[in-house]
Amino acid sequence: MPPHTSHPLIAFEHSDFLVAIKPAGLSFHQEAGEAGFVEVLRQALGGMPLWPVHRLDKLTSGLLLFAKNAEAARYFGDAFAEHRINKYYLAISDKKPSKKQGWIKGAMEKGRGGSWRLSRDGELKAATQFFSYGDMLYGQRLFILRPLSGRTHQLRVALKSLGSPILGDERYGGTPADRGYLHAWALDFDYQGEQQRILLAPETGLAFQDLEAQLAKIAAPWNLPWPK
């Protein structure tokens, strides 16, 4: 679904919700006295009441869903809890993964300095499905990721566990770059009986500039043969 608004921070707007465009490098909430994306968006929209129903890491760009009223917020909260909202991400790594597609499963455990790691045992289970494509410039590889849970740093830890940390994600061993190469690419969900599919390619990042031909072949993430 193409953007339905000309506002630079909004990809799609409905009477009950909007899908915003978060830039890379901006925290979700206020950090160290600097306004976070939620505050920036509210100010840009003239103080409009907004209910964030999920979040993105500081390094991640892309689509974020906000409810415009409490009733819609409850609906989306339930929809996320019941896995009725599909999220798809793009990531780039310059390191070859241990496998090219499939599942990444484990339990999330806190490590040192705010980092996380995957383990076999634990209560915070995480599951991610992915495909990867290796015919990019400079030996880089594109990943399309579909998280089936919403753990902190889940996708970043998942790719590290494959031996392919995200380009620019130095916390998890990624090669330094002009940005962290993780982008919230698409959302797919039902709202009041109407299917909503919003897709937005990344707009910044030198390594993302090579994606046009790749993404044209894929067309849309919901068309891929994801495991049932």
Q: Looking at the annotation, which residues are catalytic?
A: 57
Decide: helix, strand or coil at residue 215.
helix
Both tokens of 142, joined, read 């594109």
Long-range contact pairs involving 102-111 (C-beta distance under 8 Å, separation at least 24): 102/129, 102/130, 102/227, 103/127, 103/128, 103/129, 103/130, 103/227, 104/128, 104/129, 104/130, 104/158, 104/159, 104/161, 104/162, 106/161, 108/151, 108/152, 108/153, 108/154, 108/157
Q: Which residue's entry shows tokens 């978060």?
A: 22
Both tokens of 11, joined, read 């990809």
CB 63 within 8 A of CB 19: yes
Return the sign of the alpha-carbon dihedral for residues 187, 130, 138, 163: positive
Q: Can you tell me the distance from the alpha carbon of 163 to that of 17, in angstroms, rounded to the nearest whole number?
A: 38
| Closest to 40 in 3D by CA, of 83, 10, 81 | 10
